[in-house]
């Protein structure tokens, strides 16, 4: 019996806060001169990435190393997947090396669940599965918000949070929405009907999730604006006429924010398309928390690895 | 056939929609045909006849499945004509129509004859081949319908791949007018389904899976209804899964268009929420639907819009299912579960017993213009005796198919085909293949 982190859906406010509290203490570790604690000495972590990634892979790798675990990174490009091996075979091969934690990124929704179902000993961390979930990104976004609002002695409950752009294809949005719902926040999904269909509200049980197609209405009085990455391939799939047309309608600019959400802060999971979904002025401006998001990636992943390893250990102790 | 001993099926409740018969009757089978259907007791004089005790059981025409995949030639590791035909009779089906998406596709008399020879050697269910609509099922060139019909094809279909070219579909319908054979249509507009792997709905949005919207099926049904209206050709719609699709067909029938349709049992007893855990055994084409669509299907069953139940029996090996959801093969075994699932629906009062028998026997026969599917004196003795109260577990050992892809595995099912006759020959005895029982007796003897 091992624990996994496959998604934010289904986590309670307390569980989310447990991750954030642990991350908070690991932030300090990363600021030390010697950025290493012996917590996971002797543990093995495999990061297997079937999709290209720079920041997520790097931060998982560093997180494991700072906890003194042995980490190995396998990327699909160099692995046997290219030779036609199935996901199951690849993962079973890796499991035979007895990792304690397997971190997986995959282009297909449900891949992390599939792996968790067929692994017996390792904890699985979903580092992004298709358009489904990306739980550690949501946690680091929340940590970033917590740090920001703490400055003005505000909590991150009772916020009005808007997601602007390609919600349909965004695992970052899904994980974040579940998290904000758990915290009791109001969520607004803003974008064209092709990318933010009106049924999106029903996905999350209606209630405090609202779909808005007009960006002016969508931005109004938001505390937090989350810009989502727009991909060029959506044009070929007929979701948008062109990036140009999209940005004319939905690019988040300082002018819009000043007018409709003057008190807001801005997040972006990266990588950024400047001028498409977010203007350079906003991304680099005073309301942008994008740099802090990147900074928090390591601490949040340390917290996740630490808590999963600890829960596996306590299970073992129970068995003993 | 004349060397077969006469058989009397005694004490059962005979149900036959075509002759509107429902009650206690004994049936005498002689020379491969139904020789007499009489009130209990009348047939006592046939002392030499073999007796089948059907007390407490239903005696119905051998069931007909208009839509199965036997995978031979080409993918024999998934299913063979032998194992498929055996699974059929164990499931109460005496005739099965096999789709042409084999490798090579059934677009020539050679392939049709190959299938028929294999089926004859299998000695289980009758196998009625369906020829391709287009060469290689590529949607570009008409298949040789007359040659295929003469070789034994009973219908034409590009199942699995929709016929995107409306002009080709029109000419196919026109050509088949002179043969009197239907085109069995897999309805899907690929520019709308876009590789979707589950129903498009709030659930697909939640799971982050590509959705296959119901409209992808509906627009093609609408197109083929208009083509049938225009050409007066015979259209049969495969595995209708949407309420809107049923409504379109209902209206077409009211307009007098020559159209029939089938519904698959899994679309009635499972809904889209089954895929929530990304279990690939629930991945079907068309995908499982929400309750509103299922209600529409039941309405169509009740008011007669639906002509047949067809299993879309689709064997797939474990390897092709043990992968990421979006990459898994589509389909589910059906031959051994169709009948029990319907018996369960009957016991729940969702379908009447009479209607169930019609959907499994006379309805499919009428859809494809077959003479079977009924029990009258003189008709060929394809008969299924069914114990509606028998509960049994659908365990792996019970699966006759080479593949085991069924979400019903391990589940307790209700209703078992205890005795099955094909052309007066006993192929299933006490729920087991008669051929194997004889073999065992031979070994013992």
pLDDT band of residue B43 (cuts 50, 70, 90) is: confident
Q: How far is A302 from chain B (nearest CA, A)?
A: 27
Chain B residue numbers with beta carbons less than 8 Å from the beta carbon of A174 are 206, 208
User: What is the token pair recorded at A273?
Assistant: 């398309």
Q: How far is A89 from chain B (nearest CA, A)?
A: 10
Substitution target from B191, B208, B280, B292 for chain A, most A beta carbons within 10 A: B208
Chain B residue numbers with beta carbons less than 8 Å from the beta carbon of A110 are 207-209, 278, 324-326
Chain A residue numbers with beta carbons less than 8 Å from the beta carbon of B206 are 9, 174, 203-204
* Residues B25, B271: Cα–Cα separation, whole Å: 39
Contact A87/B207, CB-based, under 8 Å? no
* Residues B240, B267: Cα–Cα separation, whole Å: 9
Note the pLDDT of residue A314. Answer: 72
Instruction: Tell me which residues of chain A, numbers 298 to 317, contact chain B at a CB-CB cutoff of 8 Å.
Output: none
Residue B29 has φ and ψ, to the nearest 5°, of: -115, 125
Substitution target from B206, B210, B328 for chain A, most A beta carbons within 10 A: B206
Per-residue pLDDT of B18-34, as tens digits, reads: 999 999 999 999 999 99
Q: How many CB pairs under 8 A join A and B?
A: 61
Among A274-283, B240-249, B430-439, the range scoring the smallest mean pLDDT is B430-439
Contacts for A257 with CB less than 8 Å, ≥ 6 apart: A219, A225, A264, A266, A282, A287
* Residues B239, B223: Cα–Cα separation, whole Å: 16
Going by DSSP bridges, is the β-strand pair B235-237/B259-263 parallel, antiparallel, or unpaired?
A: parallel
Q: How far is B235 from chain A (nearest CA, A)?
A: 32
Are residues A237 and A169 in contact, defined by beta-carbon separation less than 8 angstroms? no
* Residues A125, A107: Cα–Cα separation, whole Å: 15
Q: How far is A207 from chain B (nearest CA, A)?
A: 14
Per-residue pLDDT of A233-269, as tens digits, reads: 888 889 999 999 999 999 999 999 999 999 999 999 9
Within 10 angstroms of residue B319's Cβ, the number of other Cβ atoms is 12
User: What is the token pair recorded at B98?
Assistant: 């096999």
Candidate from B194, B202, B278 with C-beta closest to A110: B278
CA atoms within 13 A on the CB side of A238: 3
Q: How far is B102 from chain A (nearest CA, A)?
A: 24
User: What is the token pair recorded at B44?
Assistant: 């006592």
Structural domains of chain B in order of their starting residue, each with its CATH number:
7-59+379-444 (2.30.40.10), 62-368 (3.20.20.140)
Contacts for B316 with CB less than 8 Å, ≥ 6 apart: B78, B329, B331, B403, B405
Substitution target from B197, B204, B205, B292 for chain A, most A beta carbons within 10 A: B205
Closest-CA residue of A relative to B198 is A109
Going by DSSP bridges, is the β-strand pair B383-393/A224-227 parallel, antiparallel, or unpaired?
A: unpaired
Task: Give Cα B284 distance to the centre of its chain.
Answer: 16
pLDDT band of residue B445 (cuts 50, 70, 90) is: very low
Look at residue B46 and tell me whether its pLDDT is greater than 80: no
User: What is the token pair recorded at A182?
Assistant: 């758990």
* Residues B336, A98: Cα–Cα separation, whole Å: 42
* Residues A22, A44: Cα–Cα separation, whole Å: 20
* Residues B58, B11: Cα–Cα separation, whole Å: 9
H/E stretch holding A267 reads strand A265-267
Percent above pLDDT 70 for chain B: 97
Candidate from B202, B277, B327 with C-beta closest to A199: B202
Contact B322/A86, CB-based, under 8 Å? yes
* Residues B385, A221: Cα–Cα separation, whole Å: 71
Q: What is the Rg, in whole angstroms, of the alpha carbon atoms belonging to chain A?
A: 20
Look at residue B444 and tell me whether its pLDDT is greater than 90: no
Sign (positive/negative) of CA torsion B426, B432, B435, B439?
Answer: negative
Residue B179 DSSP symbol: T
Candidate from A86, A88, A109 with C-beta closest to B208: A109
Owner of token pair 């919600």:
A167
Sign (positive/negative) of CA torsion A62, A68, A69, A72?
Answer: positive
Owner of token pair 């992390």:
A112
SS3 content of chain A, % helix, strand, coil (to 5): 45, 15, 40
- B259, β-bridge pairs: B235
* Residues A211, A198: Cα–Cα separation, whole Å: 6
Candidate from A86, A87, A203 with C-beta closest to B206: A203
Closest-CA residue of B relative to A112 is B324
Look at residue B391 and tell me whether its pLDDT is greater than 50: yes
**A207 at the B interface (CB within 8 A)?**
no
H/E/C letters for each residue in A67-117?
CCCEEEEEEHHHCHHHHCCCHHHHHHHHHCCCCCEEEEEECCCCHHHHHHH
**Ramachandran quadrant class, B368 (left: phi over 0; alpha: psi -120 to 50; beta: rest):** alpha
Note the pLDDT of residue A310. Answer: 85
* Residues A103, A58: Cα–Cα separation, whole Å: 12
Are residues A142 and A156 in contact, defined by beta-carbon separation less than 8 angstroms? yes
Establish whether B442 is a catalytic residue. no
Task: Give Cα A188 distance to the centre of its chain.
Answer: 18
Contact B209/A109, CB-based, under 8 Å? yes
Of A189, A187, A188, A186, give the one whose Cα is nearest residue A158.
Answer: A186
Are residues B142 and B134 in contact, defined by beta-carbon separation less than 8 angstroms? yes
Of A143, A183, A138, A126, give the one whose Cα is nearest residue A163.
Answer: A138
H/E stretch holding B9 reads strand B7-16
* Residues A227, A264: Cα–Cα separation, whole Å: 12
- A71, β-bridge pairs: A45
* Residues A200, B208: Cα–Cα separation, whole Å: 11
The end-to-end CA distance of chain A, in Å, is 14
Instruction: Tell me which residues of chain A, numbers 228 to 247, contact chain B at a CB-CB cutoff of 8 Å.
Output: 237
Structural domains of chain A in order of their starting residue, each with its CATH number:
13-132+297-314 (3.40.50.1370), 135-293 (3.40.50.1370)
pLDDT band of residue B426 (cuts 50, 70, 90) is: very high
Q: Where are the beta strands (DSSP E) in B305-365?
A: 308-309
Q: Where are the beta strands (DSSP E) in B340-438?
A: 383-393, 412-422, 425-429, 432-433
Largest CA distance in chain A: 63
Note the pLDDT of residue A317. Answer: 64
Going by DSSP bridges, is the β-strand pair B412-422/B383-393 parallel, antiparallel, or unpaired?
A: antiparallel
Contact A111/B324, CB-based, under 8 Å? yes
Chain A residue numbers with beta carbons less than 8 Å from the beta carbon of B327 are 108
Instruction: Return mean pLDDT, chain B.
Output: 95
Rounded to two decimals, what is the model's pTM? 0.93
Of B398, B395, B304, give the one whose Cα is nearest residue B351.
Answer: B304
Q: How far is B139 from chain A (nearest CA, A)?
A: 23
Substitution target from A91, A105, A114, A201 for chain B, most B beta carbons within 10 A: A114
Q: Which residues of chain A have pLDDT under 70?
A: 1, 77-83, 315-320
Task: Give Cα A43 distance to the centre of its chain.
Answer: 24
Which residue in the list B312, B319, B387, B442 is annotated as catalytic? B312
Substitution target from B202, B209, B275, B281 for chain A, most A beta carbons within 10 A: B202
Of B203, B300, B304, give the one whose Cα is nearest residue B244.
Answer: B300
Closest-CA residue of B relative to A171 is B208
Candidate from B206, B209, B324 with C-beta closest to A87: B324
Q: What are the helix and strand counts (H, E) for chain B?
A: 15, 19
Q: What are the helix and strand counts (H, E) for chain A?
A: 13, 9
Closest-CA residue of A relative to B191 is A237
Of A87, A203, A200, give the one whose Cα is nearest residue B276.
Answer: A203
* Residues A230, A247: Cα–Cα separation, whole Å: 9
Chain A residue numbers with beta carbons less than 8 Å from the beta carbon of B202 are 199-200, 202-203
Contact B205/A200, CB-based, under 8 Å? yes
Of B63, B9, B64, give the one whose Cα is nearest residue B34.
Answer: B9
Q: How far is A69 from chain B (nearest CA, A)?
A: 29
Contact A88/B277, CB-based, under 8 Å? no
Residue A166 DSSP symbol: -
Closest-CA residue of A relative to B202 is A203
The contact set of B with A (CB < 8 A) is 194, 201-203, 205-209, 277-278, 319, 322-327
H/E/C letters for each residue in A22-55?
HHHHHHHHHHCCCCCCCCCCCCEEEEEECCCCCH
Per-residue pLDDT of B290-347, as tens digits, reads: 999 999 999 999 999 999 999 999 999 999 999 999 999 999 999 999 999 999 999 9
Note the pLDDT of residue A316. Answer: 65
Task: Give Cα B282 distance to the centre of its chain.
Answer: 19
Chain A residue numbers with beta carbons less than 8 Å from the beta carbon of B318 are none
Within 10 angstroms of residue A30's Cβ, the number of other Cβ atoms is 15
**A133 at the B interface (CB within 8 A)?**
yes
């Amino acid at each position: 019996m091992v624990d996994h982190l496959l998604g934010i859906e289904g986590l309670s406010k307390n569980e989310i806060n447990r991750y954030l509290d642990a991350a908070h203490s690991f932030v300090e570790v990363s600021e030390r001169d010697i950025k290493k604690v012996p917590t996971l000495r002797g543990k093995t972590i495999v990061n297997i990435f079937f999709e290209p990634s720079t920041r997520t892979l790097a931060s998982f790798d560093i997180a494991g190393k700072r906890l003194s675990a042995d980490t190995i990174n396998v990327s699909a490009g160099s692995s046997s997947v290219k030779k036609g091996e199935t996901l199951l075979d690849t993962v079973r091969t890796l499991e035979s090396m007895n990792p304690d934690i397997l971190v997986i990124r995959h282009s297909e929704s449900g891949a992390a669940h599939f792996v968790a179902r067929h692994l017996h000993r390792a904890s699985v961390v979903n580092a992004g599965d298709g358009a489904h979930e990306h739980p550690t990104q949501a946690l680091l976004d929340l940590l970033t918000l917590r740090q920001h609002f703490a400055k003005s002695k505000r909590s991150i409950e009772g916020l009005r949070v808007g997601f602007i752009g390609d919600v349909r294809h965004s695992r970052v949005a899904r994980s974040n929405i579940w998290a904000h719902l758990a915290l009791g926040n109001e969520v607004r999904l803003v974008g064209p009907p092709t990318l933010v269909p009106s049924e999106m509200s029903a996905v999350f049980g209606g209630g405090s999730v609202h779909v808005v197609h007009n960006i002016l209405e969508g931005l109004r009085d938001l505390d937090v604006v989350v810009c989502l990455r727009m991909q060029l391939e959506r044009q070929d799939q007929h979701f948008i006429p062109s990036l140009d047309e999209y940005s004319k309608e939905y690019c988040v600019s300082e002018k819009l924010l000043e007018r409709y959400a003057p008190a807001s802060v801005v997040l972006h999971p990266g990588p950024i398309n400047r001028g498409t979904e977010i203007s350079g002025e906003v991304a680099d401006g005073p309301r942008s928390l994008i740099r802090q998001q990147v900074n928090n990636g390591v601490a949040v992943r340390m917290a996740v690895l630490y808590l999963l390893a600890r829960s596996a250990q306590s299970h073992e102790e129970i068995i003993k | 056939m004349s060397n077969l001993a006469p058989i009397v099926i005694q004490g059962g409740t005979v149900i036959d929609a075509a002759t509107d018969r429902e009650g206690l009757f004994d049936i005498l089978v002689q020379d491969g045909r139904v020789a007499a259907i009489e009130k209990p007791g009348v047939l006592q004089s046939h002392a030499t006849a073999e007796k089948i005790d059907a007390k407490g059981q239903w005696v119905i025409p051998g069931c007909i499945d208009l839509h199965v995949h036997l995978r031979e030639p080409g993918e024999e590791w998934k299913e063979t004509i032998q194992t498929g035909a055996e699974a059929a009779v164990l499931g109460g089906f005496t005739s099965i129509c096999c789709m042409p998406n084999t490798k090579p596709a059934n677009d020539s008399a050679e392939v049709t004859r190959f299938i028929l020879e294999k089926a004859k050697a299998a000695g289980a269910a009758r196998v009625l081949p369906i020829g391709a609509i287009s060469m290689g099922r590529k949607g570009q060139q008409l298949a040789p319908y007359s040659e295929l019909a003469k070789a034994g094809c009973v219908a034409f279909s590009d199942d699995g791949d929709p016929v995107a070219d409306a002009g080709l579909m029109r000419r196919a319908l026109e050509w088949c007018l002179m043969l009197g054979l239907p085109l069995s249509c897999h309805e899907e507009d690929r520019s709308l389904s876009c590789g979707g792997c589950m129903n498009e709905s709030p659930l697909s949005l939640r799971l982050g899976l590509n959705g296959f919207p119901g409209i992808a099926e509906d627009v093609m049904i609408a197109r083929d209804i208009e083509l049938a209206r225009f050409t007066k050709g015979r259209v049969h719609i495969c595995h209708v899964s949407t309420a809107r699709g049923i409504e379109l067909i209902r209206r077409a029938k009211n307009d007098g268009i020559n159209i029939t349709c089938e519904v698959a049992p899994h679309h009635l007893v499972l809904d889209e929420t089954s895929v929530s855990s990304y279990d690939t055994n629930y991945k079907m084409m068309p995908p499982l639907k929400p309750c509103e669509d299922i209600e529409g299907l039941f309405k169509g069953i009740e008011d007669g819009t639906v002509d047949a139940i067809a299993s879309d029996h689709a064997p797939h090996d474990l390897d092709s299912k043990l992968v990421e959801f979006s990459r898994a093969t589509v389909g589910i075994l059906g031959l051994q579960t169709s009948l029990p699932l319907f018996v369960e629906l009957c016991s729940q009062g969702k379908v009447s017993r009479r209607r169930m028998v019609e959907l499994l026997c006379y309805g499919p026969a009428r859809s494809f213009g077959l003479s079977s599917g009924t029990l009258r004196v003189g008709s060929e003795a394809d008969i299924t005796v069914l114990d509606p109260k028998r509960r049994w577990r659908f365990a792996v050992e019970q699966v006759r198919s080479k593949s085991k892809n069924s979400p019903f595995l391990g589940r307790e099912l209700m209703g078992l085909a205890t005795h099955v006759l094909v052309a007066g020959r006993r192929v299933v005895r006490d729920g087991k293949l008669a051929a194997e029982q004889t073999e065992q007796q031979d070994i013992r003897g």
